[in-house]
Amino acid sequence: MPFDLVLRNGRVVDPSQGIDRVADVAFAGGRVAAIGEGLEGAEMRDVAGRIVTPGLIDLHTHVYWGGTSLGVDPADYAKASAVTTCVDTGSAGPGNFAGFRRHVIEPCPVRVLVYLHVSFAGIFGFSHRIMVGESHDIRLMAARDAVEVAEANRDLIIGIKVRIGLHASGPAGIAPLDIALQVADETGLPMMVHIDEPPPSYEAVVERLRPGDVLTHCFRPFPNAPVAGNGSIKPEVLAARERGVLFDIGHGMGSFGWKTARAMLDHGFLPDTISSDVHALCINGPAYDQVTTLSKFLALGMPLDQVIAASTVNAARALGRPELGTLKPGSVGDASILSLREGAFPLEDVRGEVVTAGERLFAEGLVVAGRAWPA
């Protein structure tokens, strides 16, 4: 019996299985069915010259479109960047998660998972004209409400989000992180923690994080970079990795610097996950999308398989969703189709430094639940 869909003759790159070869990928019943040669399906798509990966996971996005000022449409974004799982990181808090679920997540053709913000209204004051850090006011830290909403929505909520720093928490300092820690402990969920400019310091934040917690914006520029002025990695950062804290890029509009990234990679400190932090203020630059963010790490010398791993199997582990981020037969039938083109591609960081890359990834299509999407 033929499969439902076969992607034929693509370069299959699946770090979860150590695969990097030309092969066919078949889907049936909404799942990956086989990887091999000469496979036949009811629908055949020739992807020769393209790269086929497990469905890309963007671990840091803001896709509460229409419900928050920073949200972008997840379906449009998925098509533009070949992302099959958008992880929204704190756009919604317990006070407005129900609307996010009903009006955005449930109708969306691609998967949306959520780090629930410990702030009652999530990120509510974020635009070109208004910038109000939701963690400034400790009265908004809704610990009991966050626990109740997380427990009632375990199918979608995979962690707790809090934003810390001069802009995000201001006079409240590091106190919102302590509240988020209590929520995470009560629910048994990991945290994703945003860090911007000091106070508090990068070191003070990572010292509080637990195994499985994610520090996003991990390669941010000075101030609050993970490297000292002499280019060495701060010992608190190394200690955090040693105990199992995960380091995520979260590019965004202010959180990726070429200088920091070079220093970290020179010391062999690769990010665990690469994410775009796409939102309304950075989708037109400097982050743009996930494939652009991934391409920056190719320009830094990371091998393709490690770059893909940072947006597939590594991200799936951070989410606690082993059925994602892989093309193993029986896994969720998601795949991304990419091209790797040679040329001269200018790629900027958040401080305006431009690196001209010799190759760049582009989105060419995706498979969602075993079906080519859009059809």
Locate the domains of the chain by residue range: 3-53+330-373, 55-319
**Does CATH number 3.40.640.10 belong to domain 3-53+330-373?**
no
- pTM, 2 dp: 0.98
Picking from 216, 279, 261, the residue whose alpha carbon sits closest to that of residue 351 is: 261
Distance CA 19, CA 327 (A): 10
With beta carbons less than 8 A apart as the criterion, state whether 335 and 53 touch: yes
Judge whether residue 289 has pLDDT over 80.
Answer: yes
One-letter amino acid for residue 239 of the chain: A
Per the listing, tokens 């020739």 go with 46
Residue 374 pLDDT: 86
- 55-319 shares the fold of 3-53+330-373: no
What average pLDDT does this structure show over 14-29? 98
Picking from 58, 69, 59, the residue whose alpha carbon sits closest to that of residue 91 is: 69
With beta carbons less than 8 A apart as the criterion, state whether 347 and 295 touch: yes
Burial code (b: 16+ CB inside 10 Å, e: under 16) for 233-269 equals: bbeebeebbeeebbbbbbbbbbbbbbbbbbbbbeeeb
Picking from 327, 367, 313, 358, the residue whose alpha carbon sits closest to that of residue 340 is: 358
Judge whether residue 1 has pLDDT over 80.
Answer: no
Percentage of the chain beyond pLDDT 90 is 98
Q: Domain 55-319 class?
A: alpha beta
Alpha helices in the chain (DSSP H): 74-81, 97-100, 143-152, 175-187, 202-208, 235-242, 258-266, 290-299, 304-309, 313-319
